[in-house]
């Protein structure tokens, strides 16, 4: 299974969340961290594989829910086999708008590098929260999937019309 | 999974075509993408500059709402059986992401994404904003028509390039 996490900033906050999902605590070790070229290209980046053999990818996009809609539409259009289907998880991280703004300012000529440094530092400072968010997200998604598998839906009792 | 179509031209000449879903996309999915898709499916003629009425008769042109972002809409079928769609992505640079999503799901040989955002001129940008974002179609629509007419020759060239890509010439 392939999972795509979509947040506002791909290789900054969303990458930290993905690291949390994979139980990786050191974000700096991830070679893609703070790569502005990758962020601007909006290419999907593979972060790793989890214990369930699911591949985890990240991308940054200003409206994450739209990527989910596009993915669903693509699925309908092309009849993708279920095992090959990409699972898109749009995430909303507290405080990511400020990081997103800094990544945009990082593209400004001459002074951009200062903002890039600031954006990286901001993600690193928030890493305990972001990693925890990732861990919780991973647990929640897996628990939900397992619970849904085991659920047996009861028929709705008929109302007496008397 | 890619669908295969066998085209028998004569007894010995056999060629295999992979039918593709062609998706034209831009920011709003209501102007350049719709016009390019209309040219592709033959609703507009490449050798004749369309009038305002011709343009406004095209389905989805300047009629989308914010809820349509991310929805892939069918425009028709082209002369070799490919399905043609339009998409509004709320971004002008989403080609990499769309191609990556397709290749991760092993459908990259079936889908072709064509970005029409580079063909958006300033008149069209202002007109599109007035008509769709500011909900003032009375002011925006004449600008949209004018902008689309200016961009029309370039959009015809783009569609021609897509046709050549399909035929394997490029």
Instruction: Look up the domain containing B83 and give its range.
Output: 19-167
The token duo for B164 is 């050549």
- Is A109 within a domain? yes
* Contact assignment for B1 to A73 by CB distance below 8 Å: no
At A25 the pLDDT is 86
**Higher pLDDT among residues B166 and A32, named by residue:** A32
**Residue from A10, A41, A42 whose CB has the most chain B CBs within 10 Å, to mutate:** A42
At B13 the pLDDT is 45
Q: Which stretches in chain B have pLDDT values below 70?
A: 1-19, 169-170
At A139 the pLDDT is 86
- Is A160 within a domain? no
- Is B12 within a domain? no
- Model confidence at A153: pLDDT above 90: no
At A150 the pLDDT is 53
Q: Tell me whether residue A8 is exposed, middle or buried, using C-beta atoms within 10 angstroms of its C-beta: 0 to 12, 13 to 18, 19 or more.
A: buried
At B139 the pLDDT is 93
At A161 the pLDDT is 56
Q: Are A9 and A107 in contact (CB under 8 A)?
A: no
Q: What is the ipTM of this complex?
A: 0.83
Burial A47-81 (b: 16+ CB within 10 A, else e): beebeeebebbbbbbebbebbbbbbebbbebbebe
Instruction: Look up the domain containing A63 and give its range.
Output: 2-150
At A162 the pLDDT is 52
Which of chain A's residues have a Cβ under 8 Å away from the Cβ of B106? 80, 84
- Is B8 within a domain? no
**Three-state SS at A53:** coil
**Higher pLDDT among residues A156 and B154, named by residue:** B154
At A155 the pLDDT is 59
Q: Is B85 on the interface with A (CB under 8 A)?
A: yes
- Is B1 within a domain? no
Q: How confident is the prediction for chain A on average, in pLDDT?
A: 87
pLDDT digits (tens, 9 = 90+) for A98-145: 999 999 999 999 999 999 999 999 999 999 999 999 999 988 877 666
Q: Total domain count for chain B? A: 1
At B7 the pLDDT is 41
How large a percentage of chain A has pLDDT more than 70? 86
At A13 the pLDDT is 94
The token duo for B36 is 């390019």
The token duo for A81 is 């086999």
Give chain A's contact residues with B (Cβ, < 8 Å): 2, 4, 41-44, 57, 59, 61-63, 65-71, 73-75, 77-81, 84-86
- Is B14 within a domain? no
Instruction: Determine which helix (DSSP H) or strand (DSSP E) holds A46, and give its type and residue range.
Output: strand A45-49
Q: How confident is the model at residue A78 (pLDDT cuts 50, 70, 90)?
A: confident
- Is B9 within a domain? no
**Higher pLDDT among residues A150 and B7, named by residue:** A150
CA distances from A70 to A11, A38, A118, B32, B89 (A): 21, 21, 32, 19, 8
Mean pLDDT for the stretch of residues A21-29? 89
Question: How many CA within 13 A on the CB side of residue B95?
Answer: 11
Q: How confident is the model at residue A93 (pLDDT cuts 50, 70, 90)?
A: very high
Q: Which of B166, B123, B120 is nearest to B143 (CA)?
A: B123
* Contact assignment for A2 to B104 by CB distance below 8 Å: yes
**Residue from A6, A41, A70 whose CB has the most chain B CBs within 10 Å, to mutate:** A70
- Is A92 within a domain? yes
Q: Total domain count for chain A? A: 1
Beta carbons within 10 angstroms of residue B50's beta carbon: 20
At A98 the pLDDT is 95
At B8 the pLDDT is 36
Name the β-bridge partners of B6. B16
């Amino acid at each position: 299974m392939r999972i795509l996490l979509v947040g506002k900033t791909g290789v900054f906050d969303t990458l930290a969340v993905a690291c949390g999902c994979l139980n990786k605590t050191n974000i700096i070790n991830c070679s893609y961290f703070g790569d502005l070229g990758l962020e601007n290209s909006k290419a999907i980046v593979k972060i790793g594989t989890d214990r369930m053999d699911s591949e985890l990818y990240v991308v940054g996009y200003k409206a994450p829910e739209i990527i989910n809609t596009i993915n669903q539409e693509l699925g309908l259009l092309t009849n993708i086999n279920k095992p090959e289907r990409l699972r898109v998880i749009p995430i909303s991280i507290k405080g990511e708008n400020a990081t997103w703004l800094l990544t945009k300012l990082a593209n400004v000529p001459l002074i951009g590098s200062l903002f890039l440094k600031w954006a990286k530092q901001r993600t690193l400072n928030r890493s305990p929260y972001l990693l925890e968010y990732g861990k919780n997200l991973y647990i929640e998604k897996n628990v939900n999937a397992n619970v849904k598998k085991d659920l047996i839906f009861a028929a709705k009792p008929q109302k007496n019309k008397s | 999974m890619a669908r295969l179509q066998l085209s028998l031209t004569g007894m010995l000449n056999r060629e295999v075509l992979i039918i593709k879903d062609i998706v034209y996309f831009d920011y709003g999915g209501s102007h350049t993408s719709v016009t390019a898709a209309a040219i592709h499916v033959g609703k507009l003629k490449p050798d004749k500059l369309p009038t305002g009425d011709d343009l406004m008769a095209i389905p989805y042109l300047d009629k989308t709402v914010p809820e349509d972002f991310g929805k892939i809409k069918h425009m028709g079928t082209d002369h070799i059986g490919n399905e043609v769609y339009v998409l509004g992505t709320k971004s002008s640079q989403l080609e990499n992401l769309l191609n990556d999503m397709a290749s991760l799901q092993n459908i990259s040989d079936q889908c072709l994404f064509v970005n029409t955002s580079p063909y958006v001129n300033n008149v069209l940008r202002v007109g599109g904003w007035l008509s769709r974002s500011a909900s003032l179609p009375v002011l925006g629509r004449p600008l949209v028509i004018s902008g689309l007419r200016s961009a029309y020759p370039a959009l015809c060239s783009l569609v021609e390039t897509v046709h050549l890509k399909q035929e394997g010439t490029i």
